[in-house]
Amino acid sequence: MIPLIDLKKNYLGIKDEVLSQINKIFDDCKFIMGENVEKFEKNFADYIGTKYAVAVNSGTAALQLSLLGLGIKNGDEVITVPNSFFATAEAISNVGATPVFCDVNDNTHNINVNKIEDKITKKTKAILPVHLYGHPSDMDSIKEIAKNHNLLVIEDACQAHGAEYKNKKTGAFGDTGCFSFYPSKNLGAFGEGGIITTDNEELFNKLKLLRAHGENPKGTHNISGYNFRLDEIQGAILNIKLKYLDRYNNSRRKNAVLYKNLLTDVPNIESPYEDPFVKHVYHLFVIKTDFRDELSRFLNNKGIGTGIHYPNLIHLQPAYKELGYKLGDFPVSEKISKQILSLPMFPELTEEQIHIVVDKIKEFRL
């Protein structure tokens, strides 16, 4: 059995550190908004290279608070991609704005910057690129377009902790960067979690208000906000795991190199692309094949976990029926969605396991 992801193996590598931190929190009974979360916000901002970070309780909350904090509201339009996790668009519609989808590149699976300007209208307020699977979007072009049209940029970096575009980390380009700490992410909590990175001090203060009932000082509610707080246990665990994030990502990258080498001559299997000027962090290792469903079933029968990220594009989801999109609107995204298959990928994946996965793929071809 080789799972798509093995969280247990990761836990065993840090078990003693985690349990001692959790014990300490239990002894102190300080569970919410304490020193662990505060320390983590500083550490994470330092790691990404932004001035500030505001921890929240999910990646979805990070996206939603970013949009609210930047003043995006009813009647506004935000340009994003159809081939992401649903939450990317959901955050936009939940603040009352309209997600406007833009097709992606066949190689990076990220937003096609040549098609963004066609989508800009008088109502457009922001571009929300997703660094899908851990491969950064083309941030130079996105920033240039945003500057020319006076648009905000919100990065969905929920799959790209530690990824780099021209030696700068994702999450440090936009007006905000949004991260998820869902357990399976490159930096995963032991529960729900998320964070917003920004260089904007005024926005930082507004995000802190929005996160916790608009309260400051205690007893005074300046604006109507939310309860989107991260808890201390997650803060402590994330502080521990952040120390190892580069090591984890380097292991993922090493695994990706081995996969790619072994898959080079396998017919009808396309390995994931990596731009020469980026550091892809392989949240997922996604191959493309015209025999996706058959191969997936074959591998699952041989005890190898696979996934499809994502089988149904957002513009065709029942929730967005009223937006009026139809099959054929985004030919590249639609083609890719039928070919993609995620193979086992996690830091602790062994060379031997990768050999087994590729041997099974070759067996399928025979």
Ligand X SMILES: *Cc1c(COP(=O)(O)O)cnc(C)c1O
Q: Give me the residue whose beta carbon is nearest to ligand X.
A: 59
Measured from the CB of residue 341, what is the shortest distance to ligand X in angstroms?
A: 17
Please report, as residue ranges, which positions from 190 to 229 form the binding site for ligand X (by CB under 6 A): 194
Site for ligand X in 1-60 (CB under 6 A): 58-60
Least distance in angstroms from the C-beta of 61 to ligand X: 7
194/235 with CB nearer ligand X:
194
Counting contacts by CB under 6 A, is residue 155 touching ligand X? no
Beta carbon nearer to ligand X, 131 or 279:
131
- Based on CB atoms, which residue is closest to ligand X, 60 or 108? 60
Give the residues across from 80 on adjacent strands. Answer: 101
Q: What would the DSSP string read from start to end of 222-262? A: -S---B-PPBHHHHHHHHHHHHHHHHHHHHHHHHHHHHHHH
Single out the segment in contact with ligand X by CB under 6 A; choices: 115-123, 152-160, 233-241, 273-281: 152-160
Q: Which of 78, 158, 163, 245 binds ligand X (CB under 6 A)?
A: 158
Place of tokens 């505001």: 54
- Rounded to a whole number of angstroms, the minimum distance from the CB of residue 299 to ligand X is 23
Query: Quick check: 278 binds ligand X (CB under 6 A)?
Result: no
Among the listed residues 36, 64, 83, 84, the single contact to ligand X using CB under 6 A: 84
Burial 102-111 (b: 16+ CB within 10 A, else e): bbbbbebbbb
What is the distance between the alpha carbons of residues 13 and 314, in angstroms, rounded to a whole number? Answer: 37
Report how many residues bind ligand X under the rule CB under 6 A: 14
Q: Which residues pair with 55 in a beta bridge?
A: 195
| Cβ atoms of 129 and 135 closer than 8 Å | no
Of 166, 147, 154, give the one whose Cα is nearest residue 60: 154
* Minimum distance of ligand X from residue 319's CB (angstroms): 15
Q: Does 76 bind ligand X (CB under 6 A)?
A: no
Grouping H, G, I as helix, E, B as strand and the rest as coil, residue 156 is: strand
Of 53, 72, 87, 172, the one binding ligand X (CB under 6 A) is 87
**What is the footprint of ligand X within residues 300-359 (CB under 6 A)?**
none
Using DSSP bridges, classify how beta strands 98-101 and 77-80 pair: parallel, antiparallel or unpaired. Answer: parallel
Note whether 83 binds ligand X by CB under 6 A.
Answer: no
Does the protein bind ligand X through residue 231 (CB under 6 A)?
no
| Residue 188 lies near ligand X (rule: CB under 6 A) | no
CA nearest to 172, candidates 40, 49, 44: 49
Nearer to ligand X, 185 or 208 (CB): 185
Long-range Cβ contact pairs of 304-308 (< 8 A, separation 24 or more): 304/1, 304/2, 304/343, 304/344, 304/356, 304/357, 304/360, 305/1, 305/2, 305/3, 305/4, 305/5, 305/344, 306/4, 306/341, 306/342, 306/343, 306/344, 307/4, 307/341, 307/342, 308/340, 308/341, 308/342
Tokens describing residue 57: 């309780």
Query: CB-based contacts of 47: which residues, under 8 Å, 6+ apart?
Result: 162, 169, 242, 245
Q: Is 22 exposed, middle or buried (0-12, 13-18, 19+ CB in 10 A)?
A: middle
Work out whether 80 is an interface residue with ligand X (CB under 6 A): no
Least Å distance, CB 221 to ligand X, is 25
State yes or no: residue 176 binds ligand X (CB under 6 A).
no
Closest CA to 17 of 202, 289, 236: 236
Asked if residue 159 binds ligand X (CB under 6 A), the reply is yes
Q: Is 105 a binder of ligand X (CB under 6 A)? A: no
88 binds ligand X (CB under 6 A): yes
| Residue 82 in contact with ligand X, rule: CB under 6 A | no
Residue closer to ligand X by CB (options 190, 298) is 190
Q: At closest approach, how far in Å is the CB of 184 from ligand X?
A: 8
Count of other CB atoms within 10 angstroms of residue 262? 18
User: In this chain, which of 130, 142, 163, 313 binds ligand X, going by CB under 6 A?
Assistant: 130
Q: Which residues contact ligand X (rule: CB under 6 A)?
A: 58-60, 84-85, 87-88, 130, 156, 158-159, 180, 182, 194
